[in-house]
Structure 1
């Protein structure tokens, strides 16, 4: 029996079918990563330097973009390195760190999207009380919870995984994932399974809270054309992001828990990386294109930079 103290490295088998075209895949992956950084950083910098955007909705959007950069930092650098390497391995400690970064980012995204839904609910359903409810202190408290809760959740998951003796070191994915490590255990993993399903239930409950908020928002918008305009301007981007993120996470969950080993590796890879490509790239684009305040400020920031260069 092989235990976790002996398993020094894991072998990632997700890239086995890309060896013949690894330069092409490297270029596509690098381009995607650069675009994610460019779009998210543009929004972050614009919101920080433009004082007129220092409002709850934009502060929450800024944190959503920061979280996108945080999560992708746990995936893309390692993947790019693997494209240039003949051996796709990762240390035991490095694997756990990758799990922590990627999936704490996922849970943080759920939490931030929930807070954003509440912010839109107050803005549309209780506009006269908005500034008294969404005070800087309240927003700061929500953001603190949005970051601390996911970090603690993943810290517990990692600690439960670290106690498991392992009987294997092969992971059939492009990156490390907690359930893939748990499946290599030599002993019963009931505690890990219960904790995992509890986490799924928690985030499913957050989704229900968002749906509940939007039921009230839609009811309010039906009665007022002004509120319908605000819904299309500020709530529609949030809904698009929420739906895309939920769908990509659903595919990842189904693939991780119930995916068949007979599936083509290319399909495995596609299902595994959707949530690491689509939401981080889509989030800043949706908000940047839909919100006129963001568009104007971005153009102003770039025009200033061009003027300085001249």
Structure 2
């Protein structure tokens, strides 16, 4: 590693006994990655080919599942535990861009459910194709453009360490830098507010309104609200907990044993990208119906 030639490599040291279990890690990760691709792409394909699923709610679900594929492809641990610093920053950018997109997409889905349940007569006018396209573009462009700033700032920082206590490049890259500037910290707090905290508060507000209105409505309306809103809330809670861990781990790194850090990070890499297609595939009745037609056509006759 010669800083003077700007050729910098980072060692990913987040694995437990990597030399002994290297092949096992690789096989497990590859298997899960294939499952992630197959499960997410299957539901996206069903939404694409079935005209009855060409509604805003299902379009947002498809975007969320595409996010899972992008996230897994960008950050999935490789067989070698060495990565160039530039590639590390690219992983950092993709991880937080896609993570921010997930929060914004969940916020768009909550607004869609709010309009559908609380303002059904205005739904076709409000949630038209233009509105859906604007939400999708903002959900992908806004986080990517904001996260590009700390990634660019990190590229020009002097490094005092080349060992990253993680299995991919998340916010622990700041531990490699000799000094983390105040500008970086402030900008990261602004990003956290814009693409995570504000969307979560908006989601909680819309679902509170939904539950208040449906509580006063008929049993059928309450049942519809639970069927469509519960999967979104479960995904939100699951993803928020994982993101909360990722945010605080850089501050409490020394207090987390390496085994605990590995298990928690694997939740982000393996569990969450599989959780979304399972949740939406099983809990969303229309998607579940088309899945049964795809895999059990004889039983549907």
TM-score range, shorter chain: over 0.9
Identify unmatched segments of 5+ residues in structure 2.
none
Distance 2:293 2:112 in 1: 27
Distance 2:251 2:115 in 1: 37
Deviation sequence 1:9-32 (CA, Å, 0-9, x none): 111111252322223322222222
Q: Which residue of 2 aligns with 1:25?
A: 25
Q: Is the 8 A contact 2:11 2:164 kept in 1?
A: yes
Task: State the TM-score, normalized to the length of structure 1.
Answer: 0.89
Cα 1:234–1:199, aligned 2, differ >3 Å: closer, same or farther? same
2:70 equivalent to 1:70: yes
Secondary structure of the structure 1 residue equivalent to 2:176: coil
Of 65, 68, 79, 1:81 maps to 79
Distance 2:154 2:244 in 1: 22
Of 185, 193, 198, 1:193 maps to 185
Distance 1:186 1:292 in 2: 52
Which ranges of 4 or more aligned residues in structure 1 deviate by more than 6 Å? none
Deviation sequence 1:140-165 (CA, Å, 0-9, x none): 11101111111101211211212212
Q: Which residue of 2 aligns with 1:93?
A: 86
Of 114, 124, 145, 1:152 maps to 145
Q: Which residue of 2 aligns with 1:308?
A: none
Q: Which residue of 1 aligns with 2:227?
A: 233
Secondary structure of the structure 2 residue equivalent to 1:14: coil
Distance 1:289 1:51 in 2: 20
Q: Is the 8 A contact 1:56 1:139 kept in 2?
A: yes
Task: State the TM-score, normalized to the length of structure 2.
Answer: 0.92
Cα 1:80–1:169, aligned 2, differ >3 Å: closer, same or farther? closer
Q: Within 5 Å, which residues of 2 pair with 1:97-136? A: 97-136=90-129
RMSD, matched Cα: 1.9
2:166 equivalent to 1:173: yes
The structural deviation recorded for 1:280 is 1.2
Q: Which residue of 1 aligns with 2:290?
A: 297
Identify unmatched segments of 5+ residues in structure 1.
83-87, 306-310
How many residue pairs were aligned?
A: 295
Cα 1:282–1:16, aligned 2, differ >3 Å: closer, same or farther? closer
